Amino acid sequence: MKTRLGVIGAGAGGLAAALLAQSHQVDVTLFESHSQPGGCAGWFDRGPFNFDVGATTLSGIGEGRPFSEFQKLTGAPLQVKVVDPGIVFHLPHTKMRRYQDNLKWLAELERVFPGMSHQKFWNEIEDLSGRAWGFLPHVSGFPPAKWSDLKHLPSWLKGIALVPSLLTSLETFEKKYQTKNDLYKRWINALCMISAQNHIHQIPALIGSLALTYPAETFAPVGGMKGLYSSWLSHFESIGGQWRPRERVESLKFQNKNWNLKTVKSENEFEKVVANVTSWSLDKMIQESKIESPTEAWGAFTVYAAVKWENLQNETYHLVLPDESEGVDDYFVSFSLPNDTERAPIGCQTVTISQHTNEADWLVSKEIYLERKNQRMEKIWQHFFKTFGKPSEVKFLSAGTPHTFERYTLRPKGRVGGMPHRWSYPIWRWPSWDRGNNLAMIGDTAFPGQGMVAVVNCALNWWRASASHFDFQRNRRS
Ligand SMILES: Cc1cc2nc3c(=O)[nH]c(=O)nc-3n(C[C@H](O)[C@H](O)[C@H](O)COP(=O)(O)OP(=O)(O)OC[C@H]3O[C@@H](n4cnc5c(N)ncnc54)[C@H](O)[C@@H]3O)c2cc1C
């Protein structure tokens, strides 16, 4: 008899876990409350356009990296395009491009921020991130949740030398080499915010090194997130996985050595469950909270547009830092790949713009909410024209707030991107992915945290730890 695994949620983490298990002869049923997969990295269609709702960039692809390890284990398709420069930074009065080539990147830094020790700083950061990548995708059962996890000790030893860089902030590194330049500090903080959700004095150096180097290895999925998830879902179904969209899980109870999983439509029994939901949601679902999860987290404000241009934007990802006098917060812009007709007809592109926002700003009356939403969208949109030029036609324009994310992904208060990394709140204090009795939590509120690459890594970590259980092994042999 095959092991029966129920997966709650088809975000990047849930779908990755479902594919890993189904590819190794586990009988997987994947429940999703929405009609389609993706969650915070999902998409929506409007006429001939498709828009990425949140995540737009991919990283962690290449020998030994999480997406490639995942692909090797599952055979799931991964059709991506290398994006170089990975990000174009729009600083007040100048642009700076993050090229893949290290020498070109250092020359660009020297042009915009002359007279600093760029080479020494970036060499050290590259070295640290290289060592982190040598460890993270290959570790299992980490951080440990119970004594029996000690069996995974050999896989942790590779990372032992990295521990001090989890307990020092990225700023300690940065201070060694850089002079006091306010714009440089603002830029490096903005870059850390988009991937680790915090500023350099708070981020552990290890996580910071990954945050700073990821734009050197940026990929765009062909067909956008819709292209990626549609191909993963088809693969999952083609190998026998059961896909249950529009089926929100309402409760999860452990009884008679099995999990009773109740959805809006059915009641089911599973030996093992993967919950691809936030720690806040899971605590509520199982009606227990062993660990106090910190509730500090960001919300997102997003703008979605479909535009027609004389000249299509050839550079895909942009981080815009407006002049402080303009009163617009930093924002991240992603264009669909030129001539990707899966996403927009010829001559047109779709645009996703995102900004950090506080959940409290949106807990207001409906009237104030709508006014705030429109004003913020209008402000960003006017600044977008200034930065990229006016399109010949705007075919669609809409905005999203934490309420929108809460509605479509069921994340409490629309908190996205997981918990911000803080060196003073080390990774081993995060809610554990292992909730006992064969219940695992996979997603951006578990180690190693935010972003698609991190949640795929979390699924790999779970899979490696579970695959050493007897019944998973038995299935692999049969
Ligand atoms: C604006 C924005 C921009 C971002 N940009 C990037 C980027 O460029 N690159 C990057 O790597 N990351 C980016 N991120 C972060 C990234 O999107 C997330 O960290 C990642 O997608 C989280 O995946 P997840 O699997 O943990 O959870 P989620 O994406 O939240 O998926 C959880 C899924 O579970 C479903 N679900 C929840 N509760 C239930 C239930 N009770 N029953 C059934 N189904 C349920 C939800 O509908 C959802 O589909 C961005 C995030 C945002 C918000």
The pTM score is 0.95
CATH of 43-100+298-416 among 3.40.50.170, 3.30.519.10, 3.90.920.20, 3.40.50.1980: 3.30.519.10
Q: What is the pLDDT of residue 468?
A: 60
3-class SS shares of the chain: helix, strand, coil, % to 5: 40, 25, 35
Q: Tally Cβ neighbours within 10 Å of residue 462.
A: 24
Site of tokens 């983490």:
13
C-alpha span between 77 and 95 (Å, rounded):
35
Nearest protein CA to atom 16 of ligand 1, as residue? 451
C-alpha span between 420 and 253 (Å, rounded):
30
**What is the token pair recorded at 148?**
């029996």
Asked if the model's pLDDT at residue 139 lies above 90, the reply is no
Q: What is the pLDDT of residue 290?
A: 54
- Of all residues in the chain, the percent with pLDDT exceeding 90 is 73
C-alpha span between 404 and 299 (Å, rounded):
10
C-alpha span between 466 and 14 (Å, rounded):
15
Q: How far is the CA of 99 from the centre of ligand 1 (A)?
A: 28
Tens digit of each residue's pLDDT (9 = 90 or more) over 173-205: 777 776 778 999 999 999 999 988 899 889 999
Substitution site in 20, 40, 228, 355 for ligand 1 pocket (most atoms within 8 Å of beta carbon): 40
Whether residue 417 has its Cβ less than 6 Å from ligand 1: yes
Asked if the model's pLDDT at residue 474 lies above 50, the reply is no
Q: How confident is the model at residue 149 (pLDDT cuts 50, 70, 90)?
A: confident
The domain covering 4-35+245-295+419-477 belongs, at the CATH homologous superfamily level, to FAD/NAD(P)-binding domain (3.50.50.60)
Nearest protein CA to atom 27 of ligand 1, as residue? 11
Q: Report the b/e string of 245-254 with b at 16+ CB within 10 A.
A: eebebeebee
- Please list, in sequence order, all residues whose beta carbon lies within 8 angstroms of the beta carbon of residue 21, skipping any fewer than 6 positions away: 5, 7, 28, 274, 463, 466
Q: What is the pLDDT of residue 420?
A: 82
Residue 285 Cα: closest atom of ligand 1: 41
Tens digit of each residue's pLDDT (9 = 90 or more) over 231-275: 999 999 999 999 999 999 999 999 999 999 999 999 999 999 999
Q: What is the pLDDT of residue 472?
A: 55
Tens digit of each residue's pLDDT (9 = 90 or more) over 26-55: 999 999 999 999 999 999 999 999 999 999
Q: What is the pLDDT of residue 244?
A: 98
Question: Hey, where are the domains in the chain?
Answer: 4-35+245-295+419-477, 43-100+298-416, 121-216
C-alpha span between 356 and 194 (Å, rounded):
8
Substitution site in 263, 276, 419 for ligand 1 pocket (most atoms within 8 Å of beta carbon): 276
